[in-house]
Chains A and B, each alone.
Chain A
């Protein structure tokens, strides 16, 4: 605190000017004496000021007419609504609804996908099942996987056809068998483009053979006019079984320039056109005895030798 401030406080406490200045060193007191005298002089005028001020009378009637009605304080006024400035609870409610919808979509999608696995032709979920199969097919990395997938899908079509027969839907069952044939034909085409490992080839051969047996049983449950589809499917299955059996077989010996081309050229029929062209190579001399093969449906399958047999790697 500076010297002047000390003197002013002393004066404020009611001390006289000399008493206030005596609290300071003489030189310091003399230095601030003019300001201290002015302050003391002001204190001496204060009673006169108080006396004059005591005459004040309120004149509310002169003030009140000028007071405009006041609005509520800004904090209490409702804020203008903005889209992004919803109250917290409304945003929470929105979030909850959005989360519920997302959960419903996810759960619903999952449920639909799972339940579609058991759908049969004619069901609204059946297209979803086929769509999922297509997705799986296009995600398969190589021809061998695609061939295996086609045989798996063919098996599903057989099972669907069997289920439809049990429900008495014979026409749908027959139509499903035509689709079965396409799967097997596709499997053969993919198998021609690659070299299947022997174990896998044998597995596929076994599956195709089982399917042929299934089709034989199914044929007798179909009405006569629908049996053609089953017969055609059975023949394609047997042909595929024979192909897979020979496809992955390890070569025992290689005869010179011996290659086999399997060409199935069925005549156009309601069950579809089957035109697998298979160039099979074998490690042993194979002489197909089924040339030409005429099926019960009138389709003929011809084995055509095209030079030397290959090594089982297909075309």
Chain B
């Protein structure tokens, strides 16, 4: 069965729930990059982020029946990703490998690339010092433009709790940035 590029997400999910792996592959290809970005922002290296993307989709396949159509699919995906991160972080600490930065394609000038590499390293260094919940809130709010209500769904918290978390996370991040500046 072939899946058109413009097939609605809801249809892909319905097909995947019935066991259609072609539809599930389409979901993987549409959301893989966004998920990869999430893991990178969280502090994973390239290989780790890649593994985490694959593992998230394997978990999604197992828990696809738990998804309700009224929910935002990407939010459900991030919820699985966050739980996976929590499980992984208990097992190993392969985050923020500053000396093993993700290898990137050279599409920009070497100078620009160097700046961005440096920025990403700064980001990783700053976020790595924050609590996991702070990281999640900041990533979803500032890199995915999620509203506090949407973040609350992913984190299974109340919207008020998310606002408090966001405020504290920004304060903690500000301190980290200041410390990094002093170190430089």
Interface residues of A (CB under 8 A from B): 2, 4-5, 8, 12, 34-39, 41-56, 58-60, 62-64, 66-74
Contact = CB atoms under 8 A, between A and B. Distances in A.
B91 to A, nearest CB: 18
Contacts of B53: 56
Determine chain B's interface SS by DSSP, over half rule.
helix
Given A4-B167, A73-B65, A66 B58 contact: yes
Contacts of B37: 49-50, 52-53, 56
Contacts of B4: none
Contacts of B33: 53-54, 56
B177 A72 contact: no
A63 B54 CA distance: 6
A39 B171 CA distance: 10
A57 B165 CA distance: 33
A67 B61 contact: yes
Contacts, number: 125
A34 B58 contact: no
Contacts of A45: 119-120, 122-123
A70 B33 CA distance: 25
B48 interface: no
Nearest to A60: B25
Interface stretch (B69-77, B81-89, B99-107): B99-107
Contact of B50 (A36, A37, A47, A56): A56
Given A49-B123, A63-B28, A55 B142 contact: no
B104 A55 contact: yes
B174 A37 contact: yes
Contacts of B103: 55
Given A35-B174, A64-B25, A49 B104 contact: no
B36 A56 contact: yes
Nearest to B117: A48
